[in-house]
C-alpha cells in the first residue's frame, strides 16, 4: 500500500503503526507500536498524543488547539526537548488510542515528563499566526524565516 493510501486509511479507519525516532522518548521508543484512532479536531484536549502528516507521519503531544479563520490549528511538541511546530486540521491523522512496546506490553501514557512546561507562550501564538499568513500568502509550509522563528520560539517553550 502506498503512503498516501495508508495515511488516508489511518485517518478514516484507524490502525496500528510502528514508531521511529526519539522525539517522544521515553514514552515511545524505536519500535514501539501505536494504535491511531480517527478523531474530530474539536474533541482534542491539550496533552493528548496526536498523529499528523508532515514529510512523514509524526506523533507529538498536543500543546494547544486554536480555532482561527474557520479552521483548527494545533501547536505540538515531542516530550524529549525538541523543536515543536504547528499543523492544521487538514494534516491531522488521528489520536493515539493505545501504545505497546516492542514486546507487545501495553504502555500507559502518564502525560508530560516531570519538569516539562505545559502551556504555550506568546511567542508560539505569534508563530501560529505567522505560519498561517505565510501559508495563505505564499502557499508554502516552510522557508528560512519560518525555520528561524520556529527554532527561536521553541527555545523559550
Query: For 115-145, what is each residue's pLDDT tens digit?
Result: 455 444 555 666 666 666 666 665 555 566 6
Instruction: Tell me the per-residue pLDDT of 31-69, one tens digit each, with 9 for 90 and over.
Output: 999 999 999 999 999 889 999 988 888 999 888 888 877
Residue 12's closest CA among 92, 67, 97?
92
d(CA 69, CA 74): 13
Residue 96's closest CA among 21, 24, 3?
24
For residues 95 and 49, the answer to whether their CB atoms sit within 8 Å is: yes
Which helix (H) or strand (E) segment holds residue 23: the answer is: none
| Predicted local distance difference test score (pLDDT) of residue 33 | 93
| Predicted local distance difference test score (pLDDT) of residue 46 | 86
Instruction: Tell me the per-residue pLDDT of 66-76, one tens digit each, with 9 for 90 and over.
Output: 887 788 988 88
Cα torsion 21, 11, 47, 25 to 10°: value is: -10
What's the mean per-residue pLDDT of the chain?
A: 78
C-alpha cell at 30: 524505536
Which residues neighbour 137 within 8 Å (Cβ) at sequence distance 6 or greater? none
Given pLDDT bands bounded at 50, 70 and 90, which one contains residue 79? confident
Strand partners, 74: 65, 87
For residues 106 and 99, the answer to whether their CB atoms sit within 8 Å is: yes
Q: Is the pLDDT of residue 108 over 80?
A: yes
Amino acid at each position: 500500500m502506498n503512503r498516501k493510501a495508508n495515511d488516508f486509511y489511518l485517518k478514516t479507519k484507524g490502525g496500528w503503526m510502528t514508531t521511529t525516532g526519539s522525539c517522544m522518548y521515553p514514552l515511545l521508543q524505536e519500535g514501539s507500536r501505536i494504535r491511531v484512532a480517527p478523531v474530530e479536531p474539536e474533541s482534542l484536549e491539550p496533552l493528548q498524543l496526536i498523529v499528523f502528516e508532515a514529510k512523514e507521519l509524526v506523533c507529538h503531544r498536543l500543546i494547544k488547539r486554536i480555532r482561527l479563520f474557520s479552521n483548527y490549528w494545533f501547536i505540538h511538541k515531542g516530550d524529549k526537548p525538541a523543536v515543536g511546530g504547528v499543523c492544521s486540521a487538514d494534516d491531522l491523522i488521528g489520536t493515539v488510542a493505545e501504545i505497546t512496546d516492542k514486546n507487545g506490553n501495553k504502555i500507559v501514557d502518564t502525560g508530560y515528563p516531570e519538569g516539562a512546561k505545559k502551556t504555550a507562550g506568546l511567542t508560539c501564538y505569534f508563530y501560529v499566526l505567522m505560519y498561517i499568513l505565510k501559508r495563505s500568502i505564499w502557499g508554502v509550509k516552510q522557508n528560512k524565516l519560518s525555520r528561524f522563528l520556529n527554532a527561536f520560539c521553541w527555545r523559550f517553550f
